[in-house]
Amino acid sequence: MPTPNIKLPNMDHYWVPFTANRQFKAMPRLFKAAKGNYFTTMDDRQILDGTAGLWCVPAGHGREEIAAAVGNQLRTLDYAPAFQTSHPLAFEAAERVAQYMPAGLDRIFFTNSGSESVETALKIALAYHRVCGNPLRNKLIGRERGYHGVNFGGIAVGGIAGNRKAFGNALAGVDHIRHPLDIVNNAFTKGVPEDGGIALANEFEQRIMTLHDPATIASLIVEPMQGSAGVIVPPKNYLKRLREICTKHGILLIFDEVITGFGRLGTRFGADYFDVIPDIITCAKGLTNGVVPMGAVAVKREIYDAFMENSAANAIELPHGYTYSAIPIACAAAIATLDIFANEKLEDRGASLSGRLESAAHSLKGLPMVKDIRNIGLVAGIEFEAIAGKPGAMSFATYLKCYEMGVHVRYTGDIIAVSPPLTIEPHEIDRIFSTIADAIKFVV
Q: How far is the CB of 314 from ligand PLP (least distance, A)?
A: 33
In 207-256, DSSP assigns E strands to 217-222, 252-256
Instruction: Specify whether the CB–CB gap between 22 and 28 falls below 8 A.
Output: no
Give the three-class secondary structure for 47.
strand
Pick 105 or 360: Cβ nearer ligand PLP? 105
CB of 343 to ligand PLP, least distance (A): 25
Least CB distance to ligand PLP at residue 156 (A): 13
| 284, 111 contact by CB (below 8 A) | yes
Quick one: 259 or 407, whose CB is closer to ligand PLP?
259
Report how far residue 396's alpha carbon sits from residue 68's, in angstroms, rounded to the nearest whole number: 38
Nearest residue (CB) to ligand PLP, 227 versus 381: 227
Smaller CB distance to ligand PLP: residue 142 or 197? 142
CA distance 304 to 24: 45
User: What is the DSSP pairing of strand 280-283 with strand 410-412?
Assistant: unpaired
Nearest residue to ligand PLP on Cβ basis: 114
The nearer residue to ligand PLP, 413 or 431, going by C-beta atoms, is 413
Shortest Å, Cβ 413 to ligand PLP: 14
Report residue 367 CA to chain centroid gap: 29
Task: With beta carbons less than 8 A apart as the criterion, state whether 230 and 381 touch.
Answer: yes
Q: What is the DSSP string of 373-406?
A: EEEETTEEEEEEPPPTT-TTHHHHHHHHHHHHTT
Given the DSSP bridges, would you call strands 370-376 and 379-384 parallel, antiparallel or unpaired? antiparallel
Q: How does strand 370-376 pair with strand 139-143? A: unpaired
| Residues 20-53: b if buried by 16+ CB within 10 A, e if exposed | eeeeeeeebbebeebebbbbebbeeeebbbbbbb
Q: How far is the CB of 442 from ligand PLP (least distance, A)?
A: 29
The set of residues, in sequence order, having a beta carbon less than 8 Å from that of 255 and lying 6+ positions away, is 221, 222, 223, 224, 269, 270, 271, 276, 278, 280, 281, 282
Give whichever of 251 and 254 is closer to ligand PLP, judged by the CB atom. 254
* Min dist. Cβ of residue 18 to ligand PLP (A): 9
Using the minimum distance from each CB to ligand PLP, give the nearer residue, 259 or 338: 259
- Measure the CA–CA gap between 232 and 74, rounded to whole angstroms: 40
Residues forming contacts to ligand PLP in the complex (CB under 6 A) are 113-115, 118, 147-149, 223, 227-228, 256, 258-259, 284
Q: In angstroms, give the least distance from the CB of 257 to ligand PLP.
A: 7
CB of 333 to ligand PLP, least distance (A): 14
Decide whether 147 or 324 has the Cβ nearer to ligand PLP: 147
